[in-house]
């Protein structure tokens, strides 16, 4: 009995390591630019803060059901440790200066996602909301806009994947950007 168990365990271990023992010792050749682009695009840490209702969708996206960490997105509480700022919610005039300040505290290279119609253009407040900024791109440069009020978690994930594509296409060493 013990022998049979040992054999089946060995078979399972073999099945798990599909790539194991499939290659000889080898060398992978790629440009340093591409390797850096790949590494940076698969580990963008995002700044964890929310401004209004869109932030609830952002939290849901980071929670267990959608699990943002699957695509390398890890939340950070400090702008100094973050690569991506997700502006999730209504940016009031009062808050806009704080958003700009937080953006400036992030280290380069840094990216911004405008999540939802408020962050993109003022949303439901675009006409009569005297207190609302008509798009966060008036104070910080935006890389990806995600439409919706609020956008669903799938939309946010799509936007983040687009950002990852953009980062991957960058060539930081040769200074060419996508
Ligand atoms: S876009 Fe809609 S859901 Fe998002 S913060 Fe504005 S009003 Fe709220």
Residues 5-52 pLDDT 10s: 666 666 665 565 666 777 777 777 778 888 888 888 999 999 888 899
Tell me the best of 88, 92, 116, 128 to mutate to test the pocket of ligand 1, counting ligand atoms within 8 Å of each CB and taking the most.
116
Is this model's pTM higher than 0.85 or not? no
Q: State residue 82 phi and psi, 5-degree precision.
A: -110, 145
Rounded to the nearest whole angstrom, what is the distance from the C-alpha of residue 16 to the centroid of ligand 1? Answer: 45
Q: What is the pLDDT of residue 178?
A: 53
Rounded to the nearest whole angstrom, what is the distance from the C-alpha of residue 110 to the centroid of ligand 1? Answer: 24
Q: How far apart are alpha carbons 23 and 85 in whole angstroms?
A: 41
Whether residue 17 contacts residue 46, with contact meaning beta carbons closer than 8 Å, is answered with no
Q: What is the pLDDT of residue 1?
A: 46
Which residues have C-beta atoms less than 6 Å from ligand 1? 52-54, 89-90, 116-118, 123-124, 149-150
Q: What is the pLDDT of residue 124?
A: 93
Q: What is the pLDDT of residue 12?
A: 61
Look at ligand 1, atom 3, and give the residue with the nearest C-alpha.
150
Q: What is the pLDDT of residue 170?
A: 86
Segments of the chain scoring below 70 in pLDDT: 1-19, 176-178
Residue linked to tokens 């956008």? 151
Q: What is the pLDDT of residue 18?
A: 67
SS (H, E, C) 117-147: HHHHHCHHHCCCCCCECCCHHHCCCCCEEEC
Rounded to the nearest whole angstrom, what is the distance from the C-alpha of residue 66 to the centroid of ligand 1? Answer: 20
Rounded to the nearest whole angstrom, what is the distance from the C-alpha of residue 36 to the centroid of ligand 1? Answer: 35
Q: What is the pLDDT of residue 33?
A: 84
Closest by CA to 168, choosing from 27, 28, 44, is 44
Q: What is the pLDDT of residue 172?
A: 76
Q: What is the pLDDT of residue 174?
A: 79
């Amino acid at each position: 009995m013990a022998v049979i168990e040992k054999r089946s365990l060995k078979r399972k271990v073999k099945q798990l390591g599909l790539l194991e023992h499939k290659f000889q010792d080898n060398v992978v050749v790629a440009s340093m630019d591409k390797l850096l682009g790949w590494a940076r695009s698969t580990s963008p840490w995002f700044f964890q803060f929310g401004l209004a209702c869109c932030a609830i969708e952002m939290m849901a996206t980071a929670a267990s059901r959608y699990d943002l960490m699957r695509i390398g997105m890890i939340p950070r509480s400090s702008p100094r440790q973050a690569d991506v700022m997700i502006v999730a919610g209504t940016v009031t005039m009062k808050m806009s200066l704080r958003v700009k300040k937080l953006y400036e505290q992030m280290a380069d290279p840094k990216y911004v996602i405008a999540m939802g119609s408020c962050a993109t253009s003022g949303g439901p407040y675009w006409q009569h909301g005297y207190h609302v900024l008509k798009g966060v791109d008036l104070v910080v440069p935006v890389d990806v806009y995600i439409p919706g009020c609020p956008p669903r978690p799938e939309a946010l994930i799509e936007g983040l994947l687009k950002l990852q594509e953009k980062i991957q296409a960058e060539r930081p060493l040769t200074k060419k950007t996508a």
